[in-house]
Structure 1
């Protein structure tokens, strides 16, 4: 007859025997967390002492610790952070860039406030107060801290180290109303003129002369609403400039990580935001000029690249744009502002759905909240409607 299977975390009959002069051994079978039954033994000077030692050894085996038997509610918060990062690496579900961002936010924003606490000392009130205090300094920092703290404590709950996640009961974060910044057509033309003047190399003194890429990058951002990383990831194969409707396929982004060379990722910010965008004339003209200046290109060559043929980094383009514009007294313009600038007229002249489609959003609420500059002007048709509704009697 087959031996009956023990429930997980239990042991069978204990047997004892003399193993040498003055030494006794107690042994039994114990079913571990992984479902396997293992033989466990201990020795003592008497049979009773050996059995007592065996029971102590069995009691020390943690039932719900599949990979880290040392993590308990009394462990310091830093041990959970290490365990959480190891679990992220083991799972391999998120990108390396996001993983590094999580680690940075945990180390810089959360750990300083919790490093001297054990896990059982981290309750709802403490978490709620921490998030609110951080939100007074920065909404974005509080939001980022909230994400990583919730994820780490959620892991502790899943692995039955903690009974519940205190972050589940922390109050919501509220952000002050924000009006997206967008440029007007005259402001766009001033920026174009400033870049053109710089690229003409008038008064150039030393170093490599401008190669015309900055102006073309701006025109493509204005013509596609693409993120700066998406524009820098455009390959020759993504461009159709000879068809009846010139277009660009946005299907990647440039990723830059500390200590690594920048590289092209084979999808934009999200895999769902791949899209083919028809080009307005000003953008298609800029692409044609760039192709002519670049000369012979392979299908996988980047439209915009360094003199060594490597990807341009988003940080370098931002810095170059800032330096060029600050030289003529224009401050505060970022590549992302062009993205908002495009969304506003598309919404005003067509629909929010078309603006969201152009931006690569799957939810129009994101488009409304972060990309559409709301006009204060109410449709003047209301005046005629009210005249008809409440006109004075002439008698």
Structure 2
């Protein structure tokens, strides 16, 4: 009787098409269909989940039934994958947890094996940020290219320099910068500002469009901008052919949204010509976060970047200086100075 009780499914409802003996690929197909029916994920996230489960998880678990997938097997799989790449292991953990979670909700599996696997440990890394000299070197390279002095590559459209200045003056993501409308800009008041209200999205097989909200809810914000950004925005506004408030500040010659990949390629091309390496649009967010942290602290840096938790800013965006603030020497001098 004990053997029969162990073998039978005490959790299997009559309405479910899945059983403990169902192949894992059947669960994956059911899970992906369930996600699509829920319609809660963005058009970008759903294909990402599907690709991750197809490329990372199914090659290892595709031949197994659900009852054969336990904590030990999942734990070993993630540890082996983490040896190759922490990011790949992290992505595999997410989709494996979600898929097996569906089996738990349908009472096919009693616990989720992923609830008990070992924690993944991220390798230590230091966020890279540009120095003031490096920022100016990039500016000079872009200005040289936009002036038409470089004979290599496509003809400049004179937007790249302004895009960089806006990233540097707002900390906005590249997609958020490309989604700015003239209605989001105030460069006439004593404190010029830009409101971040959307982002550019590119889905496979669909035209690039402007999404009417940024990456997260807190990412919708109004940012006071420095003079170099305000001047770049004024010059760009003066060049716009479409003067409507809902036009895009940065756009193609036809007025359509620029893709983030196009801007990345253009920036990489220009900097390759100048012999500058390792500069991406996202490094400007780290550069801004590092500068604000050094002058005003991490709380303000996190607020400027639109982060809900300063821990994210510290871990991924701020380049820590090895130099401790010299004021400690003065404090120790007062505390332990030798008596004369």
- Normalised TM-score (structure 1): 0.81
The residue that corresponds to 2:5 in the other structure is: none
Unmatched tracts of structure 1, length 5 or more = 1-61
| Deviation (angstroms), 1:65 | 5.1
| Deviation (angstroms), 1:237 | 1.2
Q: Which of 54, 61, 65 does residue 114 from structure 1 map onto?
A: 61
Q: C-alpha deviations, 1:83-136, integer Å up to 9, x for none? A: 001110111111111111111111111111100111110010010011111111
Q: C-alpha deviations, 1:285-309, integer Å up to 9, x for none? A: 0001111112342111111011121
Q: Are 1:146 and 2:109 matched, yes or no?
A: no
The residue that corresponds to 2:26 in the other structure is: 79
Q: Are 1:369 and 2:318 matched, yes or no?
A: no
Name the SS of the counterpart of 2:51 in structure 1: helix
Residues 1:203 and 1:324: Cα distance change in structure 2 (over 3 Å): closer
Decide whether the 8 Å contact of 1:254 with 1:263 is kept in 2.
Answer: yes
Decide whether the 8 Å contact of 1:65 with 1:159 is kept in 2.
Answer: no
Higher relative contact order (CA 8 A, sep 6+): 2
Indicate the larger mover: 187-196 or 328-337: 328-337
The residue that corresponds to 1:188 in the other structure is: 135
Decide whether the 8 Å contact of 2:130 with 2:283 is kept in 1.
Answer: yes
CA distance in 1, matches of 2:310, 2:167: 20
Greater Rg over alpha carbons, structure: 1
Residues 1:382 and 1:173: Cα distance change in structure 2 (over 3 Å): same
Decide whether the 8 Å contact of 2:292 with 2:301 is kept in 1.
Answer: yes
Name the SS of the counterpart of 1:277 in structure 2: strand
CA distance in 2, matches of 1:64, 1:317: 52
Name the SS of the counterpart of 2:282 in structure 1: helix
Name the SS of the counterpart of 1:258 in structure 2: coil
Q: Which of 163, 168, 174 does residue 110 from structure 2 map onto?
A: 163
Q: Are 1:242 and 2:191 matched, yes or no?
A: no
The residue that corresponds to 1:339 in the other structure is: 285
The residue that corresponds to 2:13 in the other structure is: 64
Residues 1:376 and 1:206: Cα distance change in structure 2 (over 3 Å): closer
The residue that corresponds to 2:228 in the other structure is: 282
The residue that corresponds to 2:214 in the other structure is: 268
| Deviation (angstroms), 1:206 | 7.5
Q: How does 1:6-155 map to 2 (within 5 A)?
A: 64=13, 66=15, 69-155=16-102
The residue that corresponds to 2:3 in the other structure is: none
Q: Which of 177, 193, 203 does residue 231 from structure 1 map onto?
A: 177
Q: Are 1:351 and 2:297 matched, yes or no?
A: yes
Unmatched tracts of structure 2, length 5 or more = 1-10
Decide whether the 8 Å contact of 2:12 with 2:19 is kept in 1.
Answer: no
Q: Are 1:381 and 2:327 matched, yes or no?
A: yes
CA distance in 1, matches of 2:170, 2:290: 13
Q: How many residues align structurally?
A: 330
Higher helix share: 2
Decide whether the 8 Å contact of 1:233 with 1:264 is kept in 2.
Answer: yes
CA distance in 2, matches of 1:393, 1:291: 66
Residues 1:359 and 1:203: Cα distance change in structure 2 (over 3 Å): closer
CA distance in 2, matches of 1:88, 1:297: 41
The residue that corresponds to 1:309 in the other structure is: 255
Residues 1:353 and 1:226: Cα distance change in structure 2 (over 3 Å): same
Residues 1:112 and 1:218: Cα distance change in structure 2 (over 3 Å): same
Residues 1:243 and 1:389: Cα distance change in structure 2 (over 3 Å): closer
The residue that corresponds to 1:298 in the other structure is: 244
What is the root-mean-square deviation in Å for CA atoms of aligned residues?
1.4
Decide whether the 8 Å contact of 2:170 with 2:223 is kept in 1.
Answer: yes
CA distance in 2, matches of 1:204, 1:372: 37
| Deviation (angstroms), 1:390 | 2.4
